[in-house]
Amino acid sequence: MHWADVLADELLKEEKKHVLATGITPSGPIHIGNMREILTTDAVYRCLIDKGGDGELTYVADDYDPLRKVYPYLPKSYEKYVGMPISDIPCPCGKHKSYADHYLVSFLNSLKEIGVKPHVYRANEMYKNGDYNQAIQIALENTDKIKEIIQKISKRQLPKGWIPFNVRCEKCKKLTAAKAVLYDYPIIEYKCDCGYEGEVDITKGGVGKLPWRVDWPARWKMLGVTFEPFGKDLGTVGGARDTGEKIVEEIYGYPAPKYTVYEFIMLKGEGAMHSSKGTALSAGEMLAMTPPEVLRFLLMNNQPGKHLVFDSGLGLLNLVDEYDKEERVYFGKEEATKGMKDLKKTYELSQLRNYPKTIPYQLPYRHLVTLIQIGESWDEVKKILLRTKQIPKDLSKDDENHLKQRAEHARYWLDNFAPDIVKFEVKKKLPKVDLAKEQKKFLLALTGKLSSVDWEAEDIHKIIYDSSEKEKIPIKTAFKTIYQIILGQEKGPRAGYFLSNLNKDFVLERIEEAVI
């Protein structure tokens, strides 16, 4: 059984409306590791609905969290904002409503692109609307109990006078600097490090925030959360999950949600991704270089507890191939190889929305990578594909869009991540090369045969061999010569296919020019 089905079954033991929650703090670029949380939950959600359950997928952006420090990717001037809620800090690029939105908006766009549609909550609005007021009041009434729970389970000593609420100083706007002096419902008197002394009324929204270890359980109760996964960093004994479980049950009188712990995603060669350390690829970038169904496939095909290595180099091509193979097997075009697990479910969960009824038109991705380096626009690529009969004339609109979309991803990958070995450029003019006599002889033989041949990959391929044999030139030199005069480099894509995708007259003229 697919892991998502196992989790969904677990939830279905209780017949009620399930709230499947995810939450991420948009304090930096949101990366694919964070995306795993959402896609994992989305998978369970889909399985739940498939099985006839009732559920909702939610995403809480904790944008009321204070900025912890000036991250490496921030200007030094942000020093003055440290401690303020990230929804109250100006946007680094100036185009968004706030610092939080700067990262959140692009992540929400990525979610849309990858086919996830959660109900989005913003913590700053929930606090300011007063949604948290009751939870805050209950927390403050139970200060001693909460303190005891946290101290006992996390083995952490909390300071004297600690209360489960961080007041936001009215003067310096920081959540991290004010110390409560006295609590007398509904007023908290406080003294801030900035020198200000004041009081806030907790029945008014947005005057402060519950600390994380209390905020989380409060939110479970408030939203009726029944399932929420979390990363392995939070899964540790004595961590927020442990204290949260106790707090939600004993203070808020609500059962702790079910969960799964998910592993991190490593970037090949760079270790785990951390938004704060800058070793992260943003979800946006990852999606720009990877077709969305393929990215989903990567996560759906692996249990959440398995750590993944994302290879933004050549490994990406293999991943796409693997997906395409899965697709062929799903539609019965190919035998399953042993080891393909939960093939049907995995494929279906990889789809953005509706499952296709017939197999989408497939073009080998590696070949597409070559083609888009020959044709500058999709129209040109399409022309080549039609001319060489690599796609049928009556290709459906959906299939064309699918290919076009893949071409865009491949293009982004080539421009930003692909290793040089797969890159080339068809030079508009003959590159400067000193050809040896034997190379010219080979070209002469080649051009004579090429001019009279059908412009087919196999035939061209054969002619290259014939010519090299006839002129007694090593085949390696023959290929090298072709690449030199067309690409200005010594290696290139498989010659037969490559040339057949170029215009015949162009190739003949180029050879002629080179021989002179």
Partner RNA sequence: GGGCUUGUAGCUCAGCUAGGCAGAGCAAUCGGCUCUUAACCGAUUGGCCAGGGGUUCGAAUCCCCUCAAGCCCGCCA
**Positions that interact with RNA (CB under 7 A):** 1, 6, 25, 62, 65, 68, 156, 211-213, 215-216, 232-240, 261, 263-264, 271-272, 274, 302, 305-307, 309, 311, 313-315, 317-318, 337-341, 364, 366-367, 370, 421-422, 424, 461, 465, 469, 474-476, 479, 491-498
* DSSP single-letter state for residue 87: G
Name which of 203 and 303 has its Cβ closer to RNA: 303
Name which of 338 and 432 has its Cβ closer to RNA: 338
CB of 94 to RNA, least distance (A): 26
CB of 354 to RNA, least distance (A): 27
> What Å distances lie between residue 225 and 7, 18, 119, CA to CA?
15, 7, 13
Closest CA to 304 of 269, 260, 247, 259: 260
Name which of 128 and 274 has its Cβ closer to RNA: 274
Name which of 453 and 475 has its Cβ closer to RNA: 475
> What Å distances lie between residue 160 and 179, 180, 207, 457, CA to CA?
11, 11, 22, 79
Instruction: Reply yes or no: is the peptide bond before residue 229 cis, omega within 30 of 0.
Output: no
Q: In angstroms, rounded to a whole number, what is the distance separating the alpha carbons of residues 229 and 40?
A: 8
Name which of 14 and 469 has its Cβ closer to RNA: 469
CB of 121 to RNA, least distance (A): 15
CB of 320 to RNA, least distance (A): 11
Confirm if 316 and 290 have CB atoms less than 8 A apart.
yes
CB of 54 to RNA, least distance (A): 22
Name which of 187 and 436 has its Cβ closer to RNA: 436
CB of 362 to RNA, least distance (A): 14
Name which of 337 and 358 has its Cβ closer to RNA: 337
Query: Strand 261-262 and strand 166-167: pairing?
Result: unpaired
CB of 268 to RNA, least distance (A): 8
Name which of 115 and 391 has its Cβ closer to RNA: 391
Name which of 41 and 370 has its Cβ closer to RNA: 370
Structure tokens at 488: 């200005």
Name which of 201 and 466 has its Cβ closer to RNA: 466
CB of 497 to RNA, least distance (A): 6
Q: In angstroms, rounded to a whole number, what is the distance separating the alpha carbons of residues 434 and 117?
A: 59
Name which of 278 and 364 has its Cβ closer to RNA: 364
Closest CA to 176 of 238, 88, 274: 88
CB of 429 to RNA, least distance (A): 20
Confirm if 237 and 155 have CB atoms less than 8 A apart.
no
Closest CA to 30 of 66, 59, 58, 57: 59
Confirm if 464 and 494 have CB atoms less than 8 A apart.
no
Q: In angstroms, rounded to a whole number, what is the distance separating the alpha carbons of residues 265 and 273?
A: 7
* DSSP single-letter state for residue 85: B
Q: In angstroms, rounded to a whole number, what is the distance separating the alpha carbons of residues 431 and 426?
A: 10
Q: In angstroms, rounded to a whole number, what is the distance separating the alpha carbons of residues 291 and 380?
A: 21
Name which of 351 and 489 has its Cβ closer to RNA: 489
CB of 422 to RNA, least distance (A): 4
Q: In angstroms, rounded to a whole number, what is the distance separating the alpha carbons of residues 516 and 513?
A: 6
CB of 6 to RNA, least distance (A): 4
CB of 147 to RNA, least distance (A): 13
How far out from the chain centre does Cα 221 lie? 29
Q: Which residues contact 378 (CB under 8 A, 6 or more apart)?
A: 404, 407
Q: In angstroms, rounded to a whole number, what is the distance separating the alpha carbons of residues 413 and 415?
A: 5
Name which of 215 and 399 has its Cβ closer to RNA: 215
CB of 80 to RNA, least distance (A): 19
Q: Give Dmax over CA atoms of the chain in angstroms.
A: 99
Q: What DSSP string describes 421-485?
A: GG-----SS-------HHHHHHHHHHHHHHTTS---HHHHHHHHHHHHHHTT--HHHHHHHHHHH
Rg over CA atoms, the chain: 30
Q: In angstroms, rounded to a whole number, what is the distance separating the alpha carbons of residues 476 and 268?
A: 33
